[in-house]
Structure 1
Amino acid sequence: MTPTPLGGPPRQPTIKEVAALAGVSPMTVSRTLAGGKNVRQDVQDRVFEAVASLGYHRNENARSIRPGQTSGLVGVAITNLGNPYYGNFALGVEEVASHYGRRIVLGNTGEELSRERQLIADFIGRQVEGLIVVPSGGDSGHLQREMLRDTPLVLASRTVAGVEADAVVLDDIGGAYRGTSALLDAGHTRVAYLGNVTSVFTGQRRYEGYERALAERGIPVEPSLVRRGQQDVATASAAMRSLLDLEHPPTAVFSANNRNTIGALQEIGERIRTRSQVPLPSIVSFDDFELADMMPVPVTVIDHDPRELGREAARLLFARLLDSAEPAPARSVEMPTHLRVARP
């Protein structure tokens, strides 16, 4: 951070100072912060290191906000704008924000840390009053209080190690445990796992619930039945194909999120159309999804309300914004899930 003048407010670093520290031109800094088009990745990395070192933020609203005014904006960063789950989550945030006369600014990170870092910087540059972030994981430097200029932050669905912030998460472990247990109680012993990358907070917790249910019944995890790393429908479909092509395929599948479930069902649908002789597995899905009750095989859902998750995240944020008392310790709220058993 640029040194503070004696007796005055901190002076914000300039784009020229960022450029000098990174060893690039001010134009390259601007291009990097605007998306990095035609800027090499190693150059972008140097620019972002300089930005972090100096605590630089673009002030997008400087000309439109008069002294004493606030922007009236809440920045919301989600990981997958194409997933209806996050659309409902954003609607919940918006519902509470509008009650307080605020609007939301929505951005998509695509589970990429560099995009998340850039998006947060843009939000701070627009002088948002608060931030609600579904974090992608990894390095947390851009989410530290000093980098956010003390802008209140709420983490939603996931937490990040080393970030002291209010958070609202789901009962990921308990939900996955109950879902896997339901399959075991139905007599299945070869239960496969479909999930996202191990570094994702929810993926790790849901795998833990799956593992715990198997361990309680003395069933070891079989590595050939575990597929982790699928972030979209296409890769989930390919993972399901590899499971069904095993010499001894699973008789049931626990899916850790709705994108993995839809990918699995796409492959099952293909098997039905080609009249494959492979027995079709039972499925438990963490997260509801479109037309879940109309699938070619029954799908039991570990259900919860993403809109209520968004509302709760917004309530935590406005509790911070409106509390004039001394800062309280970070709060963490865990929201319940319930098992919606598929009709045979």
Structure 2
Amino acid sequence: MTVSGSGPSATPTVRDVAEHAGVSPMTVSRTLSGGKNVRAEVQEKVWAAVEELGYHRNENARSIRPGHSSGLIGVAITNLGNPYYGQFALGVEEVASLHGRRIMLGNTGEQLARESQLVSDFIGRQVEGLIVVPTGEGAEHLTPGRLGSVPLVLASRTVEGLDADTVLLDDINGAYEATKALIDGGHTRIGFLGNVLSVSTARRRYEGFVRALHEAGLEPDPALIRRGQQDVAAARRAMEELLGLDDPPTAIFSANNRNTIGALQAIGTRQKDGPAIPAPTLVGFDDVELADMLQVPLIIVSHDPRQLGAQAARMLFDRLDDPEMDESPRLVELPVTVGTLRG
């Protein structure tokens, strides 16, 4: 199929998508508007064509006068229900407002397809820049070929194969120092709770965890490792499994606040309903609300998500304010603080 226009870089249209999917332009329009009265299998064909052609709906075309920008910054986060990302978004918004811009916030739910469509929607609304906390599973929708001249900053995570401005936390050293604190406290049987391997923070924090163990002459015990928990419920189940072992861990490293909350729930239930056994010492990466009120030995690896969002926004506006700046991708790592034992 040939995309209409003057050359290979021409912008695909609804008619191009329809031809590629083998449906009518009306069917494409209905699918893009919610899929009412369009069979599921037909919708799949349309969305596949949208993805293959890199089609973006231009939602703002009629409302933006020639020569004027949208004044919008697209921000894609992974979990709108996580207070951490609320603070992150506030940091972005504070910097954007100083530059006379507003933010559009979208939730990907850690799903690559939703992230790709959200980015497409942002581009269709003619955002001036993008800040994305990526799922980490794919990069095609974030390449210059898809984004055109819209600058991109990745926050908190990297994406394999994608060179872009990125702001991270000092995940490796933070996890190393926190695990070392457990070892220095006499723990040798230490469990690990983390999210999926495609998420770069999960890999980096596990790397720091293992480094501390190896330095002390210890090996990570596969029976004590639980990875892949993306929400509190899954983390709670994983922690229950660890607590139910014949020889449970005496300490746990939790790689993010969702895993920490799940672990705390499991420990609380165990202490309330089960035998009176000491709670394992818990290290949690990311702050947890009401942590100071918990009756569980707890060490927090702390940082400011608001600062993370603000740094991402500053890097984006560097690009917007100076289109001629060096195109080489920049990497900034923000420090973290390992707290003292609480509880």
Instruction: Name stretches of at least 5 consecutive residues in structure 1 with no aligned partner.
Output: none
Conserved? CA contact 1:79–1:109, under 8 Å = yes
Counterpart-to-counterpart distance in 2, 1:317 and 1:200: 22
1:102 Cα offset (Å)? 0.2
Q: Which moved more, 1:23-32 or 1:96-105?
A: 23-32
CA contact (8 A) 2:191 2:224 kept: yes
In the alignment, what sits opposite 2:80?
81
Partner in structure 1 of residue 273 of structure 2: 274
Q: Is 2:304 the counterpart of 1:305?
A: yes
Tell me how far apart the structure 1 counterparts of residues 333 and 307 of structure 2 sit (CA, whole Å): 12
Check the 8 A contact 2:154/2:167 in 1, yes or no: yes
The SS at the match of 1:231 is coil
Partner of 2:262: 263
Superposition deviation, residue 274 in structure 1: 1.5
Q: Map Cα deviations across residues 156-189 of structure 1 (whole Å, 9 max, x no partner).
A: 0001112221110111111111111111110001
Decide whether the 8 Å contact of 1:244 with 1:278 is kept in 2: no
Structure 2 residues not aligned, in runs of 5+ = none
1:20-169 superposed matches below 5 A = 20-34=19-33, 43-44=42-43, 46-169=45-168
- Asked if 1:211 is matched to 2:210, the reply is yes
DSSP-derived class of the 2:147 partner: coil
Indicate conservation of the 8 Å contact 2:280/2:297, yes or no: no
- Report SS of the residue matched to 2:149: coil
How far did 1:273 drift? 1.5
**Is the 8 Å Cα contact of residues 256 and 285 (structure 1) preserved in structure 2?**
yes
Structure 2: distance between partners of 1:157 and 1:41: 35
CA distance in 1, matches of 2:125, 2:110: 22
Q: Give aligned pairs, total.
A: 342
Q: Following TM superposition, where does structure 1 have runs of at least 4 consecutive aligned residues deviating by more than 4 angstroms? A: 34-45
Q: Which amino acid aligns with 2:324?
A: A
Q: How far has the Cα of 1:152 moved from its partner? A: 0.5
Secondary structure (helix, strand or coil) at the match of 1:115 reads: helix
Q: Which residue does 2:198 correspond to in 1?
A: 199
CA positional deviation for 1:295: 1.0
How far residue 289 of structure 1 moved from its aligned partner, in angstroms, is 1.2
Q: Per-residue deviation at 1:32?
A: 4.3
1:138 deviates by 1.2
TM-score, structure 1 normalization = 0.94
Counterpart CA distance in 2 for 1:43 and 1:208 is 44
* Other structure's SS at 1:315 match: helix
Per-residue displacement from partner, 1:172-217 (whole Å, max 9, x unpaired)?
1111111111111100010000010111111111111111111111
Could you tell me whether the CA contact under 8 Å between 1:93 and 1:313 is conserved in 2?
Answer: yes
> RMSD in angstroms over aligned alpha carbons?
2.0
**Contact 2:284 / 2:299 at 8 angstroms: preserved in 1?**
yes
Residue 261 of structure 1 aligns with an amino acid whose one-letter code is T
Cα 1:176–1:149, aligned 2, differ >3 Å: closer, same or farther? Answer: same
Following the alignment from structure 2 to structure 1, what is the Cα–Cα distance between the partners of residues 40 and 180?
A: 46
C-alpha distance in 2 between matches for 1:38 and 1:198: 39
| Paired AA for residue 223 in structure 2 | S
CA contact (8 A) 2:95 2:314 kept: yes
Contact 2:319 2:325 in 1 (8 A): no
CA gap of 1:123–1:243, structure 2 versus 1, over 3 A, is: same
| Mean CA deviation greater in 49-58 or 102-111 | 49-58
Whether the 8 Å CA contact 1:33–1:118 is kept in 2: the answer is no
Q: Tell which deviates more after alignment, 25-34 or 55-64.
A: 25-34
Separation (CA, whole Å) in 2 of partners of 1:18 and 1:117: 17
State the alpha-carbon separation in 1 of the partners of residues 250 and 35 from structure 2. Answer: 47
Q: CA deviation at 1:10?
A: 5.8
CA distance in 2, matches of 1:315, 1:326: 14
| Cross-structure match for 1:253 | 252
* Percent identity for Structure 1 against Structure 2: 63
